[in-house]
Protein backbone atom coordinates (compact mmCIF):
# COMPACT_ATOMS: atom_id res chain seq x y z
CA UNK A 1 0.00 0.00 0.00
CA UNK A 2 1.26 3.46 -0.88
CA UNK A 3 0.66 6.36 1.50
CA UNK A 4 1.90 9.95 1.55
CA UNK A 5 1.74 10.86 5.25
CA UNK A 6 2.50 7.50 6.88
CA UNK A 7 4.54 4.41 6.15
CA UNK A 8 3.08 0.93 6.49
CA UNK A 9 4.88 -2.37 6.73
CA UNK A 10 3.96 -5.91 7.71
CA UNK A 11 6.88 -8.09 8.74
CA UNK A 12 6.69 -11.27 10.83
CA UNK A 13 2.96 -10.71 11.44
CA UNK A 14 3.60 -7.22 12.89
CA UNK A 15 2.00 -4.25 11.12
CA UNK A 16 4.02 -1.10 11.80
CA UNK A 17 2.27 2.19 11.06
CA UNK A 18 4.65 5.15 11.20
CA UNK A 19 3.37 8.72 11.20
CA UNK A 20 5.64 10.32 8.64
CA UNK A 21 5.46 14.11 8.69
CA UNK A 22 8.57 14.75 10.80
CA UNK A 23 8.94 18.33 9.56
CA UNK A 24 5.76 19.22 11.52
CA UNK A 25 6.33 16.75 14.37
CA UNK A 26 3.91 14.32 12.70
CA UNK A 27 0.95 16.65 13.17
CA UNK A 28 -2.37 15.18 12.12
CA UNK A 29 -3.99 16.54 8.98
CA UNK A 30 -7.01 15.29 7.09
CA UNK A 31 -4.98 13.05 4.80
CA UNK A 32 -3.00 11.49 7.64
CA UNK A 33 -6.13 10.67 9.59
CA UNK A 34 -7.64 8.91 6.57
CA UNK A 35 -4.43 7.03 5.79
CA UNK A 36 -3.91 6.04 9.42
CA UNK A 37 -7.45 4.70 9.60
CA UNK A 38 -6.94 2.65 6.45
CA UNK A 39 -3.59 1.27 7.60
CA UNK A 40 -4.87 0.21 11.03
CA UNK A 41 -7.83 -1.56 9.43
CA UNK A 42 -5.44 -3.36 7.06
CA UNK A 43 -3.15 -4.30 9.93
CA UNK A 44 -6.06 -5.73 11.87
CA UNK A 45 -6.94 -7.95 8.91
CA UNK A 46 -3.51 -9.11 7.82
CA UNK A 47 -1.25 -9.01 10.91
CA UNK A 48 -1.29 -10.35 14.47
CA UNK A 49 -0.16 -7.12 16.15
CA UNK A 50 -0.28 -3.46 15.12
CA UNK A 51 2.27 -0.84 16.21
CA UNK A 52 1.85 2.93 15.92
CA UNK A 53 4.98 5.07 16.07
CA UNK A 54 6.39 8.32 14.70
CA UNK A 55 9.15 9.24 12.28
CA UNK A 56 11.93 11.49 13.52
CA UNK A 57 12.08 12.69 17.11
CA UNK A 58 8.35 13.10 17.82
CA UNK A 59 5.41 10.75 18.06
CA UNK A 60 2.66 13.25 17.17
CA UNK A 61 2.15 16.92 18.00
CA UNK A 62 -1.63 16.73 17.57
CA UNK A 63 -3.90 18.58 15.18
CA UNK A 64 -2.10 20.42 12.38
CA UNK A 65 -3.42 23.91 13.06
CA UNK A 66 -2.33 25.05 9.60
CA UNK A 67 -4.18 22.28 7.78
CA UNK A 68 -7.51 24.02 7.24
CA UNK A 69 -6.58 27.63 6.58
CA UNK A 70 -8.17 29.92 9.16
CA UNK A 71 -8.33 27.91 12.37
CA UNK A 72 -11.07 30.22 13.67
CA UNK A 73 -13.45 28.94 10.97
CA UNK A 74 -12.63 25.25 11.43
CA UNK A 75 -15.71 23.16 12.11
CA UNK A 76 -14.24 21.18 15.01
CA UNK A 77 -17.33 19.11 15.67
CA UNK A 78 -17.44 17.90 12.06
CA UNK A 79 -13.70 17.24 12.01
CA UNK A 80 -13.87 15.17 15.18
CA UNK A 81 -16.99 13.29 14.10
CA UNK A 82 -16.00 12.56 10.50
CA UNK A 83 -12.21 12.24 10.72
CA UNK A 84 -11.10 11.49 14.26
CA UNK A 85 -13.87 9.09 15.26
CA UNK A 86 -13.22 6.60 12.41
CA UNK A 87 -9.48 6.66 13.16
CA UNK A 88 -9.96 6.12 16.89
CA UNK A 89 -12.59 3.43 16.34
CA UNK A 90 -10.25 1.58 13.99
CA UNK A 91 -7.65 1.43 16.78
CA UNK A 92 -10.12 0.65 19.57
CA UNK A 93 -11.92 -2.03 17.55
CA UNK A 94 -8.77 -3.59 16.11
CA UNK A 95 -9.13 -7.38 16.56
CA UNK A 96 -5.41 -7.83 17.31
CA UNK A 97 -3.30 -6.23 20.05
CA UNK A 98 -2.17 -2.66 19.38
CA UNK A 99 0.93 -0.92 20.72
CA UNK A 100 1.80 2.77 20.67
CA UNK A 101 5.59 3.05 20.58
CA UNK A 102 5.92 6.67 21.68
CA UNK A 103 9.32 7.82 20.49
CA UNK A 104 9.04 11.49 21.49
CA UNK A 105 6.56 14.29 22.09
CA UNK A 106 2.90 13.23 22.17
CA UNK A 107 0.80 16.36 22.50
CA UNK A 108 -2.85 17.26 22.20
CA UNK A 109 -4.67 14.82 19.96
CA UNK A 110 -1.33 13.07 19.48
CA UNK A 111 -1.22 12.17 23.17
CA UNK A 112 -4.70 10.73 23.03
CA UNK A 113 -3.96 8.91 19.78
CA UNK A 114 -1.18 7.15 21.69
CA UNK A 115 -3.49 6.29 24.58
CA UNK A 116 -6.00 4.68 22.20
CA UNK A 117 -3.73 1.65 21.79
CA UNK A 118 -3.99 -1.37 24.07
CA UNK A 119 -0.42 -0.93 25.31
CA UNK A 120 1.68 2.24 25.38
CA UNK A 121 5.47 1.93 25.52
CA UNK A 122 7.40 5.19 25.64
CA UNK A 123 11.03 6.12 25.48
CA UNK A 124 12.15 7.85 28.68
CA UNK A 125 12.76 11.14 26.85
CA UNK A 126 9.17 11.25 25.58
CA UNK A 127 6.41 13.27 27.17
CA UNK A 128 2.62 13.58 27.04
CA UNK A 129 0.84 16.93 26.98
CA UNK A 130 -2.88 17.65 27.13
CA UNK A 131 -2.30 21.02 25.48
CA UNK A 132 -5.93 21.84 24.76
CA UNK A 133 -6.67 24.45 27.44
CA UNK A 134 -3.63 26.42 26.28
CA UNK A 135 -5.74 27.43 23.28
CA UNK A 136 -9.16 27.45 24.94
CA UNK A 137 -10.27 23.89 24.16
CA UNK A 138 -11.06 20.69 26.05
CA UNK A 139 -9.23 17.39 25.59
CA UNK A 140 -10.62 15.53 22.59
CA UNK A 141 -9.64 12.56 20.41
CA UNK A 142 -10.75 10.33 23.28
CA UNK A 143 -8.82 12.16 25.98
CA UNK A 144 -11.75 12.56 28.35
CA UNK A 145 -12.43 8.82 28.00
CA UNK A 146 -8.92 7.44 28.37
CA UNK A 147 -7.37 9.79 30.93
CA UNK A 148 -9.62 9.05 33.95
CA UNK A 149 -9.56 5.33 33.19
CA UNK A 150 -5.79 5.15 32.93
CA UNK A 151 -4.68 7.82 35.44
CA UNK A 152 -7.60 8.16 37.84
CA UNK A 153 -9.85 11.18 38.22
CA UNK A 154 -7.45 13.40 40.17
CA UNK A 155 -4.50 13.06 37.78
CA UNK A 156 -6.75 13.27 34.73
CA UNK A 157 -8.35 16.50 35.91
CA UNK A 158 -5.00 18.08 36.71
CA UNK A 159 -3.52 17.03 33.37
CA UNK A 160 -6.47 18.53 31.51
CA UNK A 161 -6.74 21.76 33.48
CA UNK A 162 -3.08 22.68 33.91
CA UNK A 163 -1.85 21.33 30.56
CA UNK A 164 1.51 20.46 32.12
CA UNK A 165 3.99 18.16 30.46
CA UNK A 166 3.87 14.63 31.83
CA UNK A 167 7.16 12.84 31.43
CA UNK A 168 7.20 9.25 30.29
CA UNK A 169 8.51 8.24 33.70
CA UNK A 170 5.62 10.06 35.42
CA UNK A 171 3.16 8.46 33.01
CA UNK A 172 4.57 5.06 33.88
CA UNK A 173 4.43 5.71 37.62
CA UNK A 174 0.85 7.00 37.40
CA UNK A 175 -0.43 4.03 35.41
CA UNK A 176 -1.10 6.14 32.33
CA UNK A 177 1.08 3.90 30.13
CA UNK A 178 2.45 0.38 30.33
CA UNK A 179 6.14 1.27 30.58
CA UNK A 180 8.87 3.82 29.94
CA UNK A 181 12.19 2.40 28.76
CA UNK A 182 15.65 3.87 28.19
CA UNK A 183 16.13 5.61 24.86
CA UNK A 184 19.05 3.42 23.90
CA UNK A 185 17.02 0.22 24.08
CA UNK A 186 13.62 1.64 23.08
CA UNK A 187 13.37 0.36 19.49
CA UNK A 188 14.66 -3.10 20.34
CA UNK A 189 12.33 -3.28 23.33
CA UNK A 190 9.06 -2.39 21.62
CA UNK A 191 9.92 -4.64 18.70
CA UNK A 192 10.39 -7.53 21.12
CA UNK A 193 7.09 -6.72 22.82
CA UNK A 194 5.31 -6.65 19.46
CA UNK A 195 6.92 -9.94 18.45
CA UNK A 196 5.72 -11.53 21.69
CA UNK A 197 2.14 -10.53 20.93
CA UNK A 198 2.37 -11.51 17.27
CA UNK A 199 3.40 -15.04 18.27
CA UNK A 200 0.82 -15.37 21.01
CA UNK A 201 -2.74 -16.75 21.26
CA UNK A 202 -4.63 -14.25 19.10
CA UNK A 203 -8.07 -15.62 19.98
CA UNK A 204 -7.38 -15.17 23.68
CA UNK A 205 -5.95 -11.68 23.17
CA UNK A 206 -9.13 -10.54 21.41
CA UNK A 207 -11.23 -11.79 24.31
CA UNK A 208 -8.90 -10.25 26.92
CA UNK A 209 -9.60 -6.86 25.33
CA UNK A 210 -13.33 -7.55 25.28
CA UNK A 211 -13.49 -8.70 28.90
CA UNK A 212 -11.42 -5.92 30.44
CA UNK A 213 -13.34 -3.21 28.60
CA UNK A 214 -16.66 -4.70 29.65
CA UNK A 215 -15.68 -4.49 33.32
CA UNK A 216 -16.33 -0.73 33.46
CA UNK A 217 -20.02 -1.30 32.74
CA UNK A 218 -20.62 -4.41 34.86
CA UNK A 219 -21.06 -5.28 38.51
CA UNK A 220 -19.22 -8.34 39.82
CA UNK A 221 -21.97 -10.77 38.86
CA UNK A 222 -22.19 -9.38 35.36
CA UNK A 223 -18.45 -9.48 34.87
CA UNK A 224 -18.17 -13.04 36.13
CA UNK A 225 -20.77 -13.97 33.51
CA UNK A 226 -18.71 -12.25 30.81
CA UNK A 227 -15.62 -14.15 31.93
CA UNK A 228 -17.44 -17.48 31.89
CA UNK A 229 -18.79 -16.90 28.39
CA UNK A 230 -15.50 -15.76 26.90
CA UNK A 231 -13.49 -18.43 28.69
CA UNK A 232 -15.83 -21.02 27.28
CA UNK A 233 -15.07 -19.69 23.81
CA UNK A 234 -11.32 -19.77 24.49
CA UNK A 235 -11.55 -23.36 25.68
CA UNK A 236 -12.78 -24.43 22.24
CA UNK A 237 -9.89 -22.90 20.31
CA UNK A 238 -6.85 -24.56 18.79
CA UNK A 239 -4.72 -22.11 20.77
CA UNK A 240 -5.96 -23.53 24.07
CA UNK A 241 -5.28 -27.10 23.00
CA UNK A 242 -1.80 -26.13 21.80
CA UNK A 243 -1.08 -24.22 25.00
CA UNK A 244 -2.01 -27.20 27.17
CA UNK A 245 0.00 -29.64 25.05
CA UNK A 246 3.02 -27.34 25.10
CA UNK A 247 2.78 -27.08 28.90
CA UNK A 248 2.55 -30.86 29.33
CA UNK A 249 5.39 -31.47 26.85
CA UNK A 250 7.53 -28.72 28.42
CA UNK A 251 8.09 -26.84 25.15
CA UNK A 252 7.21 -23.39 23.79
CA UNK A 253 3.70 -23.14 22.42
CA UNK A 254 3.30 -22.67 18.66
CA UNK A 255 0.15 -20.66 18.14
CA UNK A 256 -1.30 -20.54 14.64
CA UNK A 257 -3.19 -17.26 14.84
CA UNK A 258 -6.82 -16.44 14.29
- CA 124, distance to chain mean position in Å, is 18
DSSP one-letter string for 69-130? S-GGG--HHHHIIIIIHHHHHHHHT-SS-EEEEE-SEEETHHHHHHHTSSEEEEETT-EEE-
71 pLDDT more than 70: no
Note the pLDDT tens digit of each residue in 119-135. 999 999 999 999 999 99
Contact 119, 98 (CB under 8 A): yes
- Ordered structural domains, the chain, with CATH: 6-198 (3.90.226.10), 202-248 (1.10.12.10)
Inform me whether the pLDDT recorded for 50 exceeds 90.
yes
> Above 90 in pLDDT, residue 158?
yes
- Report the percent of the chain where pLDDT is more than 70: 97
Q: Which pLDDT belongs to residue 182? A: 97
Does this model's pTM top 0.75? My answer is: yes
Using an 8 Å Cβ cutoff, are 172 and 180 in contact? yes
Q: What is the DSSP string of 173-198?
A: HTTSSSEEE-GGGHHHHHHHHHHHHH
What local confidence, expressed as pLDDT, does residue 66 receive? 77
Q: For 84-106, how does the pLDDT look when each residue is reduced to its tens digit (9 = 90+)?
A: 999 999 999 999 999 999 999 99
- Give how far the C-alpha of residue 143 lies from the chain's centroid of Cα atoms, to the nearest Å: 12
Amino acid sequence: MDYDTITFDITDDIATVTLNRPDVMNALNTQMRAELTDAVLAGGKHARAVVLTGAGTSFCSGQDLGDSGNIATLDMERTLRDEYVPMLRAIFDCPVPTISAVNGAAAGAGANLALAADVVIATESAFFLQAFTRIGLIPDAGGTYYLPRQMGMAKAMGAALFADKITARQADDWGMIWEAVPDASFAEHWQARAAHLAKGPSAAYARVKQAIRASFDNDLEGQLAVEAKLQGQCGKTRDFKEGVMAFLEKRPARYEGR
